[in-house]
Amino acid sequence: MGDRNAPGAMQTSKTPDYEAMVIGAHPDDADFSSAGTSALWAKQGKKIVWVCMTDGTEGSEVPDLADTDLMLTREQEQRMACDILGVQSVEFLRFPDGALTNNQSTRKAIVKLIRKYRPRVVITHDPSTHIYAPDPDESPTLTAYLNHPDHRAAGQIVIDALFPGTVNPRAYRDLLVEGLYPYQVHELYLYFSGNENTYIDISETIELKIKGLQCHVSQLGTETKWLDRIYDRSAAKAKEAKEKKGLTMQYAEAFRRIKLYVPD
């Protein structure tokens, strides 16, 4: 953004504190997408923080729940899941569910957290795919998936926070007063992407992932038949890992991995 050797220039730190920050639009997005990876890294002794961008108040089929009650219930469910996974810290930004928007306010909130935790890796939604749809003639019984507008917004907010917000000393200058200085994230992992290039072997943590998901009772109820789908999808991703990268694993989570900084 400017001359790095100018008098008074502030250098951007590249020394991480946390290993990873996982950012989801709603409570349970991180659980579905990447909890196995979080649990794996946590088992290796690394510090992980999860961030939930919205207040989750649209996440129920029950219309007459009070917003605050639903919000607090879901935050509690998320905290329980994080305990199981070994995630140290959870932050709730409480932007309005269903209306997440990429603007200065949401970008700044993410810049603030990234500067506070200094994660080596940031993991979030891939904002680029809007519709996952098979040809209805070829797959007449399959239905498409419309990517939730909050998911797209969350991914784009994080990317726009990563550059230039987190690294630019003049962006959101009031953060400097609080001691939140420019920091360069090393890697970005995008989940729910159509362009995966990285597979994490979650075979030893898939059970924790399942247990974490089961904390989200308000979302998933108490039946358990949907658990099979988690195993199925994780196995399908492992198969992809074999095909694309020649890697052998039983269960996998898949990401589009992007390098932002390579230490010397």
Contacts with its own copies in 198-227 (CB under 8 A)? 198, 217-221, 223
User: Is residue 60 involved in binding its own copies (CB under 8 A)?
Assistant: yes
Of 99-128, which residues contact its own copies (CB under 8 A)? 99, 101, 103-104, 127-128
Contact 131, 30 (CB under 8 A): no
Instruction: Name the token pair of 214.
Output: 């089961």
User: Is residue 143 involved in binding its own copies (CB under 8 A)?
Assistant: yes
- Least spacing, CB of residue 260 vs its own copies, in Å: 6
How many chain residues are in contact with its own copies, going by CB under 8 A? 78
Cα–Cα nearest to 199, from 80, 56, 36, 73? 36
Please identify which residue in 14, 46, 79, 148 interacts with its own copies, judged by CB under 8 A: 148
Cα separation values, 20 from 82, 227, 246, 262, Å:
14, 26, 26, 16
Which CB atom, from 74 or from 86, has the smaller least distance to its own copies?
74
Which CB atom, from 3 or from 228, has the smaller least distance to its own copies?
3
Which CB atom, from 103 or from 250, has the smaller least distance to its own copies?
103
User: Is residue 262 involved in binding its own copies (CB under 8 A)?
Assistant: yes
Please identify, among the stretches 37-45, 65-73, 78-86, 202-210, the one whose residues bind its own copies according to the rule CB under 8 A. Answer: 65-73
Cα–Cα nearest to 241, from 255, 229, 231? 255
What track of x and - describes contact with its own copies for positions 156 through 175 (by CB under 8 A)?
Answer: x--xx-xxxx--xxxxxxx-
Please identify, among the stretches 30-38, 77-85, 96-104, 205-213, the one whose residues bind its own copies according to the rule CB under 8 A. Answer: 96-104
User: Is residue 194 involved in binding its own copies (CB under 8 A)?
Assistant: no
Cα angle 192, 110, 84 (rounded to 5 degrees) comes to: 60
Please identify which residue in 17, 43, 76, 133 interacts with its own copies, judged by CB under 8 A: 133
User: Is residue 67 involved in binding its own copies (CB under 8 A)?
Assistant: yes
User: Is residue 65 involved in binding its own copies (CB under 8 A)?
Assistant: yes
Q: 169-176: which pairs have CB atoms within 8 A and are 24 or more residues apart? A: 169/9, 169/10, 169/12, 170/1, 170/2, 171/111, 172/108, 172/111, 172/112, 175/108, 175/111, 175/112, 175/115, 176/10
Of 2-41, which residues contact its own copies (CB under 8 A)? 2-11
Which CB atom, from 86 or from 218, has the smaller least distance to its own copies?
218
Please identify which residue in 15, 44, 45, 135 interacts with its own copies, judged by CB under 8 A: 135
User: Is residue 243 involved in binding its own copies (CB under 8 A)?
Assistant: no
